[in-house]
């Protein structure tokens, strides 16, 4: 289980202080797929960055599987590489690498042999339906295929949790629905938690549960739904 308690995050914009998160708490079960919803500027990306250890300057407590999140940058980098996976709106694939090389990248960072990198990458690419595209460069893949490569890359090292920030915002609605369903079924099969920020209520419907953010707080309406 992921448990975050009283998360506060401020940004300084010149003389002005922006309170992006104003005391956000929640629990997400292992293997659950949660949609983080809310209008633009409500704090979705900020909360994802905090939960993904991409933003370390926050107040509050986070525990994954009963253990506190690391607070120093070196430990955080190690934690991100081994226990977390990331999916972004614009796929963020490396253009000069083939699909399998993109997927293998986190395994390379984790020091696996080339043979193991390739074996695991091909296996997960097969599971996202891209067995025939493993040697393709991102340029030669559709948006939906590129996002499936990115999902394979996020899952290849079997992280406990994948953080996805607007993963379907660059896709047409039909492809988007397929991609979300794929994340959900892989998450359930592999026991991987997915936290997916979206401003699209239709995408949220495909998730197990929704957390609604409004102006940096979890909306009470959503809390009534959850209880």
Ligand X SMILES: Nc1ncnc2c1ncn2[C@@H]1O[C@H](COP(=O)(O)OP(=O)(O)O)[C@@H](O)[C@H]1O
The residues of the shown chain that bind ligand X, judged by CB under 6 A, are 11, 13, 18, 20, 38, 40-46
* Residue 18 contact, options Mg ion, ligand X, none, Cβ 5-8 Å cut-off depending on partner type: ligand X
| Closer Cβ to ligand X, 19 or 208, answer by number | 19
Among 45, 49, 121, 168, indicate the residue that binds Mg ion (CB under 5 A): 45
Q: Please, what's the b/e burial string for 30-47 (b: 16 or more CB within 10 A of its CB; e: otherwise)?
A: ebbbbbbbbeeebbbbbb
* Residue 20 contact, options ligand X, Mg ion, none, Cβ 5-8 Å cut-off depending on partner type: ligand X
Terminal-to-terminal C-alpha distance of the chain: 17
CB of 48 to ligand X, least distance (A): 8
CB 56 within 8 A of CB 76: yes
CB of 212 to ligand X, least distance (A): 11
Q: Please, what's the b/e burial string for 68-106 (b: 16 or more CB within 10 A of its CB; e: otherwise)?
A: ebbeeeeebeebbbebbbbbbbebebeeeebbbbbbbbb
CB 209 within 8 A of CB 226: yes
Binding residues for Mg ion, total number by CB under 5 A: 2
| Closer Cβ to Mg ion, 52 or 106, answer by number | 52
CB of 87 to ligand X, least distance (A): 15
| Closer Cβ to ligand X, 26 or 43, answer by number | 43
Distance separating alpha carbons of residues 4 and 142, to the nearest angstrom:
36
CB of 212 to Mg ion, least distance (A): 14
Nearest to 124 by CA among 189, 181, 174: 189
Q: Which residues contact 23 (CB under 8 A, 6 or more apart)?
A: 6, 7, 8, 60, 217
* Residue 94 contact, options Mg ion, ligand X, none, Cβ 5-8 Å cut-off depending on partner type: none
Joined tokens for residue 218:
């979890």
In the bound state, the residue with its beta carbon closest to Mg ion is 45
CB of 88 to Mg ion, least distance (A): 11
Joined tokens for residue 84:
């977390």
In sequence order, what are the beta bridge partners of 4?
26, 62
| Closer Cβ to Mg ion, 45 or 117, answer by number | 45
| Closer Cβ to Mg ion, 110 or 219, answer by number | 219
Given the rule CB under 5 A, which of 4-12, 45-53, 93-101, 151-159 is the region that contacts Mg ion?
Answer: 45-53
| Closer Cβ to ligand X, 8 or 118, answer by number | 8
Binding site residues, Mg ion, CB under 5 A: 44-45
């Amino acid at each position: 289980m992921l448990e975050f308690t009283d998360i506060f995050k401020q940004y300084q914009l010149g003389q002005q202080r922006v309170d992006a998160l104003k005391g956000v708490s929640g629990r997400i079960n292992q293997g659950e797929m949660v949609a983080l919803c809310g209008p633009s500027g409500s704090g979705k990306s900020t909360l994802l960055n905090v939960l993904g250890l991409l933003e370390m300057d926050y107040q509050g407590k986070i525990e994954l599987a009963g253990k506190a999140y690391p607070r120093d940058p070196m430990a955080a980098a190690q934690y991100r590489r081994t226990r977390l996976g990331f999916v972004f709106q614009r796929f963020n694939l490396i253009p000069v690498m083939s699909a399998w090389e993109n997927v293998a990248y986190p395994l390379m960072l984790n020091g696996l042999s080339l043979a193991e990198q390739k074996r695991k990458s091909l296996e997960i690419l097969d599971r996202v339906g891209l067995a025939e595209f493993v040697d393709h460069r991102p340029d030669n893949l559709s948006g939906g295929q590129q996002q499936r490569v990115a999902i394979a890359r996020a899952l290849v090292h079997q992280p406990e949790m994948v953080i996805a920030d607007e993963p379907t915002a660059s896709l047409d609605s039909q492809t988007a629905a397929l991609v979300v369903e794929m994340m959900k079924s892989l998450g359930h099969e592999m026991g991987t938690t997915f936290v997916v920020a979206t401003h699209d209520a239709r995408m949220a419907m495909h998730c197990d549960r929704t957390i609604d953010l409004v102006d940096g707080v979890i909306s009470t309406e959503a809390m009534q739904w959850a209880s």
